[in-house]
Amino acid sequence: MRADKRRINSGKKVADLEKYRQRKKRSSRDENANVDGARLARNRSKKNAALLRNGAVAFIAVAVFVIMARYSVISRLNYESHSLSKQLDEKVNEKKELYYEIEMKTNSATIEKEAREKLGMEYPADGQIVYIDVE
């Protein structure tokens, strides 16, 4: 019976030894998988960080471009506004000069002076005035 027990125990020991080896292989595979998984996670993390950094750089570049384009538009509009303001001032001055000329041309004293000097006109004498009776 002892020999049978030994055989059973030794068979049990062999079976346990096989289970142990399989567990060991599985655990070493799991450890390698964990190591590989950690390495893959680090690589994935590095790739994500690089992608994020590149995206941030691209976003900043686009933002700077858009801001510069807007400043360009604002600058152009300011230039046009200044130009139009200058033209308006010129037109207002021209209008004032034209009003002054009209005033000078319609002023009775100026008209009388030109009539005397250029045309030789004088006020009529008493004998030159003819009155008409209207009944």
The one-letter amino acid at 70:
R
pLDDT reported for residue 123: 86
pLDDT tens across 23-58, in order? 766 665 555 556 666 777 778 888 888 899 999 999
Residue 93 lies in a domain: yes
Structural domain harbouring 48: 2-119
Residue 133 lies in a domain: no
pLDDT band, residue 73 (cuts 50/70/90): very high
Distance CA 123, CA 12 (A): 155
State the residue for tokens 């000329």.
101
Position 1 pLDDT exceeds 50: no
Per the model's pLDDT, the better-predicted residue between 55 and 104 turns out to be 55
Per the model's pLDDT, the better-predicted residue between 6 and 19 turns out to be 19
pTM for the whole structure: 0.44
Residue 132 lies in a domain: no
Structurally, how many domains does the chain consist of? 1
Per the model's pLDDT, the better-predicted residue between 127 and 84 turns out to be 84
pLDDT reported for residue 96: 96
Residue 127 carries which DSSP code? G
Residue 94 lies in a domain: yes
Residue 116 · residue 122 · CB < 8 Å: yes
Residue 81 lies in a domain: yes
- Separation in Å, CA 50 to CA 42, 44, 54, 61, 101: 12, 10, 6, 16, 76
Residue 130 lies in a domain: no
Distance CA 112, CA 123 (A): 10
